[in-house]
Amino acid sequence: MMSKIILSLVAAAFFLPSAAMAMPQACPSECDRIAGDVDGDGYVGFNDVSAIYRWLYIGRAKGLCIKAADVNADGVIDLSDAYRLGNFVWNGGPAPIAQSLPGDVNDDGDLDISDIVTLGQWLWGDLSEVCAANADVNGDGNIDVSDLAVLAQML
C-alpha cells in the first residue's frame, strides 16, 4: 500500500501541469516560514510534497523555501522529508519539525556578535524588524534588555 502511495506521489510530481504547481516568486522570510510550507503559500499540503519531489528529481526550482523542505530537521533534503510530509498531509502523521535558533535575532543561521548588535539596534529603535521567535532568548514572552544580557552570555 505504502509503495503505491509513494509511486503516485512521484508520478504526480513529474506529470502535474505546471499551472497546478505555481510557485510564488518570493519565499517568505525564513523566520516567518511554516515548517513544511515548501512553496511559500502559507499552507502545508499536496503542493508542498510535490515540490520536494520536483526539487529532488527535476532540479532546483525557483521560489522554494528550502529550509521548510527539511521537515525532519536532519540537515538534508531527501526522500525521508517527502515521505514524512506526505504522511502528515494524508495520514495525520508527525508534523514537520520547525527549526529555529534562539538568539539568532537576524535569522542568518549563525549565533554571533551581529545578533547582539541587531537586537541592540531594535531595542533602541534604530531597526524596525527582528526575528521575534529567536529574539525572546530568555523565553519570558517579552523582547527586552534582559534578552540582550542572556544573548551576550550565550556568546
pLDDT beyond 70 at 78: yes
d(CA 79, CA 49): 10
Domains of the chain as residue ranges with CATH: 2-91 (1.10.1330.10), 113-154 (no CATH)
Decide: residue 123, CB within 10 A, 0-12 exposed, 13-18 middle, 19+ buried. middle
Q: What is the mean pLDDT of residues 86-115?
A: 84
Entry pTM: 0.54
**pLDDT tens-place string over residues 41-65:** 888 999 999 989 888 888 766 667 7
Half-sphere exposure of 140 (CA within 13 A, CB side): 9
pLDDT at residue 82 in the model: 93
Range with the lowest mean pLDDT among 4-13, 29-38, 115-124?
Answer: 4-13
Mean pLDDT of the chain: 75
pLDDT at residue 61 in the model: 62
pLDDT at residue 54 in the model: 87
pLDDT beyond 80 at 15: no
Q: What is the mean pLDDT of residues 72-88?
A: 89
**pLDDT tens-place string over residues 101-131:** 778 888 776 788 998 998 888 888 877 677 7
pLDDT at residue 129 in the model: 75
What is the amino acid identity at position 2? M
d(CA 67, CA 62): 14
